[in-house]
């Protein structure tokens, strides 16, 4: 298949940190496309306090998908549709955990299509074991010393443990 006919999708987010739920969406998304660009946003669209830098997030995601050559990781700023267009990716993949996610995601999908009529959004529900999972919950549990080993990949767990150990030491 030539590069011009390959199906490319963008999976955007803050990924602070990437969770098993995010990983699940990417791996299942590969059933529909030839390549997925995991796009780490420089500026969150919702008020969030970052734990990891964008560069740290990109590196963790690369480690999580080191076994998957069809996954590429890039950072972006500005409008998602402009980034998607620049990457030749007319498909945006989004995960939906609950009805509350749907309202926001639906509104964003319609606005993105208004800005770039060729773009489509594919909504995927996570595996049931990850339907409750969010990066903010992972950060909160990890910050309080809880076990998040079933919620994130080993490289992410190591970074979380390192980050919170340094916070506890005051460094």
pLDDT digit string, tens, across residues 57-77: 999 999 999 999 999 999 999
pLDDT digit string, tens, across residues 127-168: 999 999 999 999 999 999 999 999 999 999 999 999 998 766
Residue burial 97-118, b: 16+ Cβ < 10 Å; e: rest: eeeeeeeebeebbeebeeebee
The topology under which CATH files domain 8-131 is Rossmann fold (3.40.50)
Spell out the residues 6+ positions from residue 35 whose beta carbon is closer than 8 angstroms to its own.
6, 7, 8, 9, 70, 71, 72
Domain ranges of the chain: 8-131
CA dihedral defined by 20, 26, 28, 32, rounded to 10 degrees? 170
CA distance 71 to 156: 17
pTM of the predicted model as reported, rounded to 2 decimal places: 0.90
């Amino acid at each position: 298949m030539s590069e011009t006919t390959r199906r490319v999708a963008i999976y955007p987010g803050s990924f602070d940190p990437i969770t098993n739920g995010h990983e699940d969406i990417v791996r299942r998304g590969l059933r529909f496309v030839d390549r997925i660009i995991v796009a780490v946003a420089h500026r969150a669209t919702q008020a969030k306090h970052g734990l990891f830098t964008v560069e740290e997030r990109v590196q963790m995601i690369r480690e999580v998908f080191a076994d998957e050559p069809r996954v590429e990781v890039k950072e972006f700023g500005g409008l998602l549709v402009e980034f998607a267009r620049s990457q030749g990716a007319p498909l945006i993949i989004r995960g939906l955990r609950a009805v509350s996610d749907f309202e926001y995601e639906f509104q964003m999908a319609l606005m993105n299509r208004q800005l770039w009529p060729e773009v489509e959004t594919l909504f995927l529900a996570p595996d049931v074991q990850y339907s409750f999972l969010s990066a903010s919950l992972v950060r909160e549990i990890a910050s309080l010393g809880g076990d998040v080993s079933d919620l994130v990949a080993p490289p992410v767990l190591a970074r979380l443990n390192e980050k919170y150990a340094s916070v506890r030491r005051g460094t």
